[in-house]
Amino acid sequence: MLAERAPVVEEEGRGLSLDEAVAYAMRARGARNRPAAGWASLTPTELRVVHLVAAGQTNPEIAAALFVSRATVKTHVSHALAKLGLSSRSELAAEAGRRSS
């Protein structure tokens, strides 16, 4: 399955700007000294997923945008919900909207 997607992923990678490529390479890196709960506990990738959920994107759309699997997106959404004490994508989107206002 991965071998079949390699040409597509390679082509998508060529379309990235330098900033986008660096952001992709740097995601999920860094110190792990975040709190266990609350907005400060979210990883950079979880935050990005939350913002894409708030923008109305589906898991498949988010997966394509971040070059990860749908299952990975589902995991990030689940982690964000748990860390924020929320129970649905709509609550997550609403809370993200309030925080960005």
Express each pLDDT in 32-72 by its tens digit.
677 888 899 999 999 999 999 999 999 999 999 999 999 99
Classified as helix, coil or strand, 57 is coil
Q: What's the pTM value of the predicted model, to 2 decimals?
A: 0.68
Q: How many CB atoms lie within 10 A of CB 95?
A: 17
pLDDT band at 19 (very low <50, low <70, confident <90, very high): confident
Taking CB atoms within 8 Å and a gap of at least 24, the contacts of 19-26 are 24/67
Look up residue 68 and give its DSSP letter: -
Looking at residue 11, its amino acid is E
Looking at residue 87, its amino acid is S
Classified as helix, coil or strand, 5 is helix
